[in-house]
Amino acid sequence: MTRLDGWKVLNAGRGSDLVLAVDFATTGRSDSSFSDLAPLLGPELTVWETRQPDTGTGMSAAQYIELWAGEAEASGRPVRAVLGYCAGAVFAGELATRLAHRQQQRPALVVFDPEIPNPAGLDRDFAAMMDQFASVLSADEVAAARQAATAARADAPDFAAFGDALVATFREQAGAAFRREGLDADLMEEFAAVFRSFVSYLDAARQIDPTAAWRTAVAVNSRQRTEGALLAARSVDLPVDHVDLLRSRPTADAVGEAVGSLSAP
């Protein structure tokens, strides 16, 4: 198979159809991922998950879609379903629309806690990232980071600028802690680069209006139901916390019902 730059193969499968999953999956995050869900969908399926290109300066929404759709189309394989998690649901809708113009049947679209990126969500994601460093940062450093984030959110002229301010705050607070603990500064920069890439991914998603695509979708919702779910053609509400949504057996069953016999016994 041709090397894929935009996709990671979660399951090689045995059939010709593809299931494409859009997410910004990072090592160590608390949220479940499509790596957790793929084994629950059955070994016969070919499941690809998006990779985030290491561009440094970010990409536009059109560039993301061109990369992901282009490689899927070049494979010559029909896409059976497109899945999207949180902000990935925005890209998933656009990707399904693009693919629908290139193949005979529109892919099924399934979105999980679909969400249009906003400053409040980015603030929440920043707090979650800082929590990952609780063993390195002091309580005062965490508090200072949270105060800086609050001030940046009030002062930033737009979403991207807010993200830049959060990256700078992380470097300042985590950098001091890493130096104090004698940890590798390059490792801290790697974490900062991942967060910067995540901000770019979210900012690109904000360039897409997912309304029309989401009206064709099945939304699979956790207990923390998002406003985006209100736009879906059909919703499936599950008694599952957001962080566990993609590792849940009921979620796999809901996906199987939505797109047809995808769930493993």
Q: What is the pLDDT of residues 121-169, one digit of tens each?
A: 999 989 888 887 777 888 888 888 889 999 999 999 999 999 999 999 9
Q: How far apart are CA 118 and CA 116, in angstroms?
A: 6
Six-digit token pair at 180?
């104090």
Q: What is the pLDDT of residues 52-79, one digit of tens each?
A: 877 556 789 999 999 999 999 999 999 9
DSSP state of 230: G
Q: How far apart are CA 195 and CA 163, in angstroms?
A: 9
DSSP state of 107: P
Q: How many residues does the chain have?
A: 265
Which of 41, 25, 23 has its CA nearest to residue 80?
A: 41
In the three-class reduction of DSSP (H, G, I as helix; E, B as strand; rest coil), residue 239 is classed as: coil
Six-digit token pair at 16?
């010709």
Asked whether residue 205 carries a pLDDT value surpassing 80, the answer given is: yes
Q: How far apart are CA 86 and CA 103, in angstroms?
A: 26
pLDDT-based confidence at residue 264 (cuts at 50, 70, 90): very low
Q: pTM above 0.85?
A: yes
